[in-house]
A and B are shown apart, each in its own frame.
Chain A
């Protein structure tokens, strides 16, 4: 393995910008790594070697000509979740419906990456239309967790998290509707951030649940995630829900945090996000993380958010309702799959047969659930009540943030489970999101940072940090301080592999 794939994005950027290594050789090293391991990991649905190398060579030409790099990450390659459109490069969302589709435009996130000189290695695997917690709902087969190839890499963004843990990419983009950045980060010992809702443009992010969807940065370190955060965040007139406010200074916050002093920071442990249903090793790892935060000088108190126990049911009404409406666009008429267009079927029959063939079981379940929850006679009891719970959860957060600066919990209740273990039990699968959903419903910022390995099975555990909307910088300060004190976790996987 080339050493370049072992470096952080910040280290790579420094070497590339100093002319010590070229962006092209850095990109090639990662393409070689993908070629070597991705048959096993299956993090990528599409590798765009030519496009990535072309972008890298443009960065190298600029450096040779003495022009300043387009961004602090210019030349550092990245893996992009296949739910963000890429002009002329396949975008499937893990669905058969979009097999072979070449988007005619770039998502704003994609365009910002290109403008920043970030070579895009390829598109990463995901649960179909971002619905799932394991990538097993991908129409193209699951991604495997580099820690144990028989286990899930999390979902929906399991391809992005696995690409980082397998050293196929130093940076990745995910999207988080109910935990799809944070849960994959937790189970692979990588870092994932769901920015404040509206912090990163949704233009070109294929919609699942528009009031919850949020793209965000993934990396192996908190600083790398911060550097990427600043590249992709910021106001975009193409997204009506994009926040027109300055991007929080997350890179400065990460650097400040890395100095290891959290005195004056108030941390709240959420009482409702622990206990029954949580794996012992996860809870012990969490308790150790809280103790470490105290050692760093933070003032730790317990806080209660009583309505958080209603977040999961509210989410599984709101998200399916919005998805049933959003996925109506896949009608077999303007793009995507069309079947049974043989002259013997009407447009409506073609539509129904195409959607039957093009969607997988979980997407169908959620579309029907949403159709039910929104239908006359059931609306008040289901969707209407879920919207009220959303109000109560937001109130819980507001009250909690009057007492503390950030909230912490485990990111997931359990370590990564075996592929196939929960795929036929939707409710068991949904429980993976129990800790991550509240932040989506309230639109807050949240991060998962590795908190070590569970003492009972040796598998990764994540610490979740939550901050108020527009206070994303607090995540990075606390996350970086904790990361520095805790020491690297992913290195243990490298040691395991090197010992083989």
Chain B
């Protein structure tokens, strides 16, 4: 069956921004393979003539007038930040050393 290799799991973890360990790669590769094998069953009945449903609710766009409403203050918005400085979120460097 082998739908998914260890390298593919490593790639998925990278896409999902999770620094998984070598041990986790082994575990997840086996488990994801088993799960994907089971869920592939959906293909048995998903004919070309069946329209997809993305959502149970009949979605229509909801409009409202563009009025100013109360929101969070700057202090409230920053209260849960891992790091803040001068009224802003402080984040680790996003550019490489050489730039």
Contact = CB atoms under 8 A, between A and B. Distances in A.
A259 interface: no
A290 interface: no
A457 B56 CA distance: 38
Interface stretch (A124-132, A142-150, A352-360): A352-360
Give the one of B38, B50, B56 with max A CB within 10 A.
B56
B19 A356 contact: yes
Contacts of B20: 356, 364
Interface string B36-61: 10111111111100111111110100
A211 B52 CA distance: 14
Nearest to B77: A104
Contacts of B92: 341, 343, 345-347, 349-350
Interface string A324-348: 1000100111111110010101111
Contacts of B52: 384, 387-388, 390-391
Interface string A149-172: 000000000000000000000000
A379 to B, nearest CB: 11
Interface in B49-98: 50-57, 59, 62, 64, 72, 76-77, 79-83, 89, 91-94, 96
Contacts of B64: 237
Contacts, number: 180
Interface string A380-406: 011011111111101000000000000
B85 to A, nearest CB: 12
Given A347-B91, A389-B46, A341 B39 contact: no
A211 B16 CA distance: 21
Given A365-B28, A368-B9, A101 B80 contact: yes
A45 to B, nearest CB: 17
A101 B94 CA distance: 25
A314 B56 contact: no
Contact of B50 (A348, A388, A426, A427): A388
B61 to A, nearest CB: 8
Nearest to B82: A338
Nearest to A441: B56
A439 to B, nearest CB: 10
Give the one of A333, A365, A368, A426 with max B CB within 10 A.
A368
A102 interface: yes
A469 interface: yes
Given A105-B72, A345-B92, A368-B32, A332 B82 contact: yes
Nearest to B59: A241
Chain B interface residue bracket vs A:
35 or more
A352 B18 contact: yes
A324 B12 CA distance: 11
Contacts of B8: 372
B44 to A, nearest CB: 7
B50 A392 contact: yes
A221 interface: no
A349 B17 CA distance: 8
B7 interface: no
A243 B9 CA distance: 39
A430 B34 CA distance: 12
Contacts of B4: 372
A387 B41 contact: no
Given A243-B57, A310-B44, A313-B42, A368 B51 contact: no
A265 B16 CA distance: 49
Given A313-B40, A347-B94, A391-B50, A364 B18 contact: yes
Contacts of B1: none
A310 B20 CA distance: 31
B49 to A, nearest CB: 9
Given A313-B42, A314-B42, A364-B28, A388 B17 contact: no
Given A310-B42, A394-B53, A347 B19 contact: no
A365 B15 CA distance: 13
Contact of A385 (B21, B42, B51): B42
Given A337-B82, A347-B94, A391 B51 contact: yes
Nearest to A395: B50
A359 B21 CA distance: 13
B39 A381 contact: no
Contact of A307 (B45, B59, B82): B45
A355 B20 CA distance: 9
B18 A333 contact: no
B37 to A, nearest CB: 9
B43 A338 contact: no
Contacts of A350: 92
A241 B34 CA distance: 34
Nearest to B79: A104
Contact of B82 (A310, A336, A381, A469): A336
A351 interface: yes
Contacts of B79: 102, 104
A313 B41 contact: yes
A240 B61 CA distance: 8
14 contacts: A197-B56, A240-B62, A241-B57, A310-B42, A341-B82, A348-B94, A361-B24, A367-B16, A368-B18, A372-B36, A375-B15, A381-B40, A387-B52, A390-B52
Q: Which 3 A-B pairs have the closest CB atoms?
A: A443-B56, A387-B52, A338-B82
